[in-house]
Structure 1
Amino acid sequence: MGVSRNNSFIISGSKLLPWKENHYNFQLSRKHHQIIKGTIYTQNQTPCTGATVLVTQIDDEKQERILLGFAVTDEAGCYLFSLEANPKMKYELTVFAPIISK
């Protein structure tokens, strides 16, 4: 049986400003099937509903970037991706604050 490993990082809500792209790079483990999930919070630490999270695959050798998909956070600020990862590639999450906030 394989060992599951969780890695996480925290992004301050003050970094998620409207109309600004926020990029976070990471490399996935050697397992091919990956689940990427997280929660986006506002500056006052409440869940951020309606933020958009893009996941992009980066091939440094070919200087290529491929958008794999996107998710919009739910009312709890949560997003989730499931993908077949290539351990030779890098991945990037881009987070956009919601256009309309309450």
Structure 2
Amino acid sequence: MPNMMRMRASLDGDTVVVRVLMTHPEDTGLLKGPDGKPIPAHFIQTVVCKHGDNEVLHCDWGIAVSKNPFLEFSFKGGKSGDTVSVTWLDNKGETQTGSTTVS
């Protein structure tokens, strides 16, 4: 699967602000397709965000997240040139990791 994450991390004073746009269908399993059959659930369950090797955010998500979710968070202790990574895991076992450099 190609990398379907767009990320940006910028320094604002002593705080790193990270913005992530994830491409994912986020199907709840509650809707029916045009043929009347249920669309199987397919949603992100876990998101882990790291600054270098340190985990700075851990999210447990469910079906109440919109298609192509956008996540913004901030943390202290980063500096320009540091690496920030985001990894998600969905209910079908698929995973995606993206990383960016703090500017």
- TM bucket, shorter chain: 0.3 to 0.5
More strand, by proportion: 2
Larger Rg: 2
TM-score normalised per structure 2: 0.37
